[in-house]
């Protein structure tokens, strides 16, 4: 029994290190050792015990990374503090299932193959990350590779593998560290260390070469990114609706006076239904015509039919002639924010009208990967949370998009870690797709990111400003944009095969 607390402490240490690998409080270099304590704790255990150790790691890391969800649902969801903490706890416990599965797999492999299983543990880590992105309620927030957003040479591998390849390399470092701690053979330890150094060196050299190459441009557009910095409690205040739109208009005039051809407003920047408010629609059309700009803005849509209705989170674009040329509906909705996953479970099969379900808006997901056109060039606008999904963003270059736009409202999260985490994840979409990514955020972070992941310009949180910059269009298609998650799904397939082949000794 003496050994039990030590293993749990090691697993908890991994959870703390994972949480400290991400902004705003953490640093990316911590991620390289974060999983090693958990892997060491798995030596000599398997099955349910391994699963529990992984759950400790997952629960601790999730709490450190997602603590801000409780304040969001309390402040803006109308929930009491205890209920808000409960919602956060449910989310953390659900996310913790994936490190648990990872630990169960590695525990089984250790029993079958010995310490060498630690060297192949990154396969299991990536396998569980791709599952997390596609199962339960699809919440791939802060995957391990995102911790390396500032490590530009390393993240260039994402143009082949998406963020999952970076996760693999970072997890491999922990796997080798654990192997060095447990393997008794000196030659084998030396071989493992040299192999890791060779792989990381090759990736680093390739990434450095990629960073030195110029980005091929197929034209450019001068654009203005509007950050009106409207507090969340004021954003949907009907008495301030017109004033909020006027703030965006004033910043648009500033951008137009600096030569902006395309002006982009954040998510939900127009808090009225465009199709049902002709006075507002005419005002925006006139703004676009007066300054001869394309105007892209966040604006929801509603459709009534047979006593019911549907609402979509949306974005629209007006041409310099004032015509509505583009309409996009958000495809990936925010769980517990724009819809409630597992409603039947949370309401006991519908028998209890849980306050959580009553408070959360029930939006309808969109189903069309539409692209807009600006002076003969195509762009794609995604909305907020969608920027954390590699498989979603790659659909747009496949449809000809030469520029990626993300409109978002991170005002919900205040000055917590969430805006910084969200931005770090969005940067990867530029690298994966070989496109410039421009981001218009209500309260920040508004930014321009080049196809190598370099942040060319950015604002601070709660800064009222407009960011004007010339941004190129790019037509070259990366391996990832063309072929998708081949690497990540291959890791999952390999993990399944290894598990089937494992026979405990």
Which residues does the annotation mark as catalytic?
267, 330, 384
CA nearest to 218, candidates 22, 471, 501 = 471
What is the three-class DSSP state of 442? coil
**How many helices, marked H, and strands, marked E, lie in the chain?**
22, 14
DSSP sequence for 338-390: TB-TTHHHHTTTTTS--HHHHHS--PPPP-----EEETTEEEEEEEGGGGG-H
Compute CA distances 93 → 4, 105, 129, 441, whole Å.
22, 19, 16, 30
Pairing status of strand 455-458 against strand 465-472: unpaired
> Which residue is associated with the tokens 């703030």?
247
* H-run or E-run covering 472: strand 465-472
**What number of other Cβ atoms are within 10 A of residue 292's Cβ?**
11
Longest Cα pair distance anywhere in the chain, in angstroms? 77
Here the tokens at position 251 are: 């910043």
Identify the sign of the CA torsion 146, 150, 151, 154.
positive
3-state secondary structure of 460: coil
Task: Name the residue among 435, 432, 459 with its Cα closest to residue 447.
Answer: 459
Please answer whether residues 138 and 386 qualify as being in contact, where contact means their C-beta atoms are separated by less than 8 angstroms.
Answer: no
C-alpha distances in angstroms, 392 versus 196, 231, 296, 316, 425? 32, 29, 20, 19, 13
- Interatomic CA distance for residues 199 and 218, integer angstroms: 34
Would you give the end-to-end CA distance of the chain in angstroms? 23
What are 280's two structure tokens? 């507002």
Query: Are the CB atoms for 454 and 95 separated by under 8 Å?
Result: no
Taken in order 129, 134, 135, 137, the sign of the CA dihedral is: positive
- Record the tokens describing residue 19, joined without a space: 């949480």
Judge whether 40 and 12 are in contact, CB under 8 Å: no
């Amino acid at each position: 029994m003496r050994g039990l607390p030590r293993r749990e402490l090691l697993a908890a240490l991994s959870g703390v290190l994972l949480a400290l690998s991400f902004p705003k409080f953490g640093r990316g270099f911590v991620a390289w050792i974060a999983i090693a304590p958990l892997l060491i704790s798995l030596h000599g255990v398997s099955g349910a015990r391994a699963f529990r150790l992984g759950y400790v790691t997952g629960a601790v890391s999730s709490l450190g990374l997602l603590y801000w969800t409780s304040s969001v649902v309390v402040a803006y969801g109308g929930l009491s503090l205890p209920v808000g903490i409960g919602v956060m706890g449910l989310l953390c416990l659900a996310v913790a299932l994936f490190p648990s599965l990872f630990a169960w797999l590695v525990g089984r492999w250790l029993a079958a193959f010995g310490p060498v299983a630690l060297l192949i543990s990154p396969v299991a880590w990536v396998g569980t990350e791709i599952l997390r992105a596609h199962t339960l309620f699809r919440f791939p927030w802060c995957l391990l590779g995102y911790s390396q957003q500032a490590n530009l040479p390393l993240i260039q591998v994402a143009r082949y593998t998406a963020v999952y390849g970076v996760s693999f390399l970072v997890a491999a470092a922990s796997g080798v560290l654990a192997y060095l701690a447990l393997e008794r053979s000196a030659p084998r330890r030396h071989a493992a260390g040299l192999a890791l150094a060779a792989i990381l060196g090759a990736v680093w050299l390739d990434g450095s070469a990629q960073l030195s190459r110029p980005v091929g441009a197929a034209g450019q557009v001068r654009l203005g990114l509007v950050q009106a910095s409207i507090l969340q409690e004021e954003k949907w205040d009907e008495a301030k609706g017109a004033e909020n739109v006027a703030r965006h208009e004033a910043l648009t005039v500033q951008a137009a006076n600096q030569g902006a051809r395309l002006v982009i407003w954040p998510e939900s920047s127009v808090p009225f239904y465009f199709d049902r408010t002709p006075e507002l629609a005419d005002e925006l059309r006139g703004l676009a015509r007066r300054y001869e700009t394309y105007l892209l803005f966040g604006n929801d849509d509603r459709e009534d039919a047979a006593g019911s209705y549907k609402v979509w989170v949306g974005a629209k674009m007006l041409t310099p002639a004032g015509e509505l040329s583009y309409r996009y509906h958000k495809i990936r909705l925010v769980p517990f924010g724009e819809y409630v996953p597992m409603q039947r479970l949370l309401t006991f099969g519908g028998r209890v009208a849980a306050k959580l379900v009553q408070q959360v808006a029930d939006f309808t997901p969109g189903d069309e990967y539409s692209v807009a056109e600006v002076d003969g060039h195509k762009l794609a606008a995604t909305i907020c949370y969608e920027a954390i999904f590699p498989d979603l963003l790659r659909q747009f270059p496949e449809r000809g998009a030469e520029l990626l736009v993300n409109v978002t409202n991170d005002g919900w999260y205040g000055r917590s870690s969430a805006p910084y985490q969200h931005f770090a994840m969005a940067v990867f979409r530029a690298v994966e797709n070989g496109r410039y990514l421009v981001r218009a955020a209500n309260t920040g972070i508004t930014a321009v990111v080049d196809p190598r992941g370099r942040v060319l310009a950015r604002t601070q949180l709660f800064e009222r400003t407009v960011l004007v910059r010339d941004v190129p269009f790019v037509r070259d298609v990366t391996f990832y944009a063309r072929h998708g998650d081949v690497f990540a799904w291959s890791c999952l397939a390999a993990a399944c095969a290894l598990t089937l082949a494992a026979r405990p000794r």
